[in-house]
Amino acid sequence: MDDHFNTDHEADFLAWTSAQIELLRAKQFDRLDLENIIEELESMARAEKHELEHRIERLITHLLKCQLQPDQISGSWLGTIREQRYRIAKLLKAMPSMKPLLDQYITLAYDHAAARAADETNTPKSAYPATMPFTKEQLLDPDYLP
């Protein structure tokens, strides 16, 4: 047995990954490190979901800032809004199975987005609506601004 196939997952992740790929291509399934492969796949799925949630929160934060301080709207705010919408659309295109999670992530992100917008604009959180003021369609509409 080649030593590089025995590479420890923790000791050298890249070498371990390369070895697992080689084993898969060679259809040597009995030699795979299944426990760590499963763990890594679960971690990848969590990371993709976290990215979607983070981008939604960031988008909501900037839309709230625009809504509360329309005279303060900057190119930076508009650029962030555009970038988040682009990245969200790209994620959903690459992984359409995340579309059903949108409503849940929007709901979960709102409170933190409002708190963050309050911090970034030096306004009280009470100045923001108690519940999400934007529809999912508005959030994803590249031309919508409050």
Q: Tokens 């709901």 identify what position? A: 107
Res. 11 pLDDT band, cuts 50 70 90: confident
Cα–Cα dist 53/105, whole Å: 6
- Residue 117, pLDDT score: 96
Taking CA atoms, 39 is separated from 34, 43, 49, in Å, by 8, 6, 16
- Residue 1, pLDDT score: 42
* pTM for this prediction: 0.84
- Residue 82, pLDDT score: 97
**Average pLDDT value for residue range 65-94:** 96
HSE-CB of 7 using CA atoms within 13 angstroms: 16
